[in-house]
Amino acid sequence: MNQPPVAPVALKTRKFSVLNWTAGDWLWALIVVGLFLRFCYPFLDNPFLHLVSDSDRHFRSATESLDFGIYSISDSLGYQIWLAAAARIFGKSNPVVATYAGIMSVTTAYAWYLWFKLCLPTKKLAMVAFALIIWLPDWIKLYTYFLDETLLLPLVGFMLYFGWKAKETLALKDCLLFAGFAGVSFITKATCAPLIGITYILLFRNMWQAPFSLLQARFTQSIFIRRLAPSIALTVIICLLAPISFHSRTGCWSWFLPAQARSNALYFQSGKRTMKVSNRYFDRLSGQWRVEEYWFGCPSYYSKQLTPFSDWISPREGEFVCKIDYGVPPESRFLPPRVDVPLAKRIELTLENCIYVLVGLVWPVEFPNSTVNFERWLWPFFTLAILFSAVKRRRLNELDILCFAMLLVLMFQQECSVEGRYRMVWEGVVVPTLVLALSDWFKKLKKLTDETQIVDQLGIDLGHTSAQPLESS
């Protein structure tokens, strides 16, 4: 029996339209476009176009000579080695340098995303934080300069990732990886020291948390000996590479990291705008003692940090002269050995530092009239939002501790003059902390909205089923 022909079923095709995109689609689009922009931006604004000041010194020290003078020798060791190796392996042509900068920019965002996946409760929140950090203007523009923050940011991202992973697994491999990245981050730039210390404390606390018993005590002792002790030892050993390198190139020991840290502290406490440093050191290449002088001025003291709302500029004036003689014992190496600062003046200098930390320009990425410096005005509001969330919660989570501890150290330390660049590592910690705080707010708001709807619905039902008066018989 012949079957009647069946008409073909027309398949419904979905027309592609951004109007049909979900929130997840938009989030993925932001991430993909942002990563593409981060990779391509150095091709549009090559780092060779910005060989001025610190960027020029770092590049010349890494590519021309490892003995470029005491100022370069005193620079952080990690970035010197990294940039010198990258220049010798990949070359110094414009396309190669732009490719290197683009890869580093993308790697930075991905390193922090790895940490976001561990420190945030859901992957969706980690993706939101990932999108935010990809689009930070300063974090994009930074990779058009040869600055040690270009290496510090990805290193800190990996350090926090392995630190959180070690905190959860307590595996020796993760502990050692965290320790290694912590040490390399520190010799790249010491501004990450608060994060290293706090992460070690959190790791210590996580090892200690358990019901106390004899068996647990033995297990805890084993964990400390086999996990934490080797990790701390590895971090310390890597940190010691900086003074060892300084000694190998000058014949002098300096345990300050970096070697000029003491002069920077004297400069900050002096209250002067400019510092003149005279160094006497032994040059092992020539076999002679050399005297080198240079002038230094913190960029924060020369620009209008509160523009466009105010023309305020640092009231510092004058020049501070510091003499360093590496041929004498450390206790008499610096002249003057210390600066006596009255309490009122110290409070004034500290409040000035607070301004630079919270809203200071990220020199040389930002200028007073730059179009990308609007971002700096958001960080005080983000901090207040995180603080308000912690107060409402009546407790501090681990991200809150990281965020506020590092902020307090940056604002109230008395060892150096702060620039906006020092804030960048803290910005990376603020992003997931803010996302988590906003997530808690939205959850409470949704819960309150649902409860209100339920109450309204119950009121309507009660109105329909209200008791009617009985008719008298």
Instruction: Report residue 212's pLDDT band, with 50, 70 and 90 as the boundaries.
Output: very low
Cβ(160)–Cβ(153) below 8 Å: no
pLDDT at 467: 44
Rounded CA separation 306/335 (Å): 35
pLDDT for residue 70 is more than 70: no
pLDDT of residue 61: 76
Whether the CA torsion 104, 109, 112, 118 is positive or negative: it is negative
Instruction: Name the token pair of 329.
Output: 């014992």
Predicted pLDDT at 226: 74
Alpha-carbon distance 101 to 93, whole Å?
12
Q: Which one is predicted more confidently, 199 or 251?
A: 199
Listed in order, strand segments (DSSP E) in 217-298 are 274-283, 288-297
Between 127 and 208, residue with greater pLDDT: 127
Between residues 435 and 233, the one the model is more confident about: 435
**What is the arithmetic mean of pLDDT over 278-302?**
79
pLDDT at 139 over 80: yes
Task: Tell me what pLDDT residue 17 has.
Answer: 62
pLDDT at 214 over 50: no
Q: In this predicted model, what pLDDT tens digit does every residue of 322-376 receive, in sequence order?
A: 888 877 776 777 778 788 888 888 899 899 999 999 988 888 776 555 555 678 8
Q: What is the pLDDT of residue 217?
A: 54
Task: Judge whether residue 189 has pLDDT over 50.
Answer: yes
Would the pLDDT of 209 be above 70?
Answer: no
Residue ranges per structural domain of the chain: 23-443
**Structure tokens given for 205:** 């606390």
The label of the residue with tokens 């008499």 reads 332
Mean pLDDT throughout 411-427? 88
Encoding tokens for residue 326?
């590496």
> How confident is residue 211, by pLDDT bands cut at 50, 70 and 90?
very low
| Higher-pLDDT residue of 272, 225 | 272
Q: Which regions of 183-262 does DSSP assign to beta strands (E)?
A: none
Question: What is the Cα–Cα distance from 135 to 191, expressed in whole angstroms?
Answer: 23
Which of 5-9, 24-28, 431-435 is least confident? 5-9
What percent of the chain is predicted at pLDDT more than 70?
Answer: 79
Tell me, what's the pLDDT at 112?
Answer: 96
Q: What average pLDDT score do residues 90-117 get?
A: 92
User: 462 falls in which pLDDT band (50, 70, 90)?
Assistant: very low
pLDDT of residue 177: 92
The phi and psi torsions of 255 (rounded to 5 degrees) equal -90, 0
Per-residue pLDDT of 383-403, as tens digits, reads: 999 999 999 888 888 999 999
Q: For the residues 84-93, what does the mean pLDDT come to?
A: 83
CA dihedral 265, 148, 425, 417 (to 10 degrees): 20
Coil vs helix vs strand at 280: strand
Taking alpha carbons only, the member of 309, 337, 313 closest to residue 323 is 337
What average pLDDT is seen over the chain?
A: 81
For residue 267, is pLDDT > 80?
Answer: yes
Residue 259 has pLDDT above 60, yes or no: no
pLDDT at site 128: 94
Q: Between 294 and 183, where is the model more confident?
A: 183
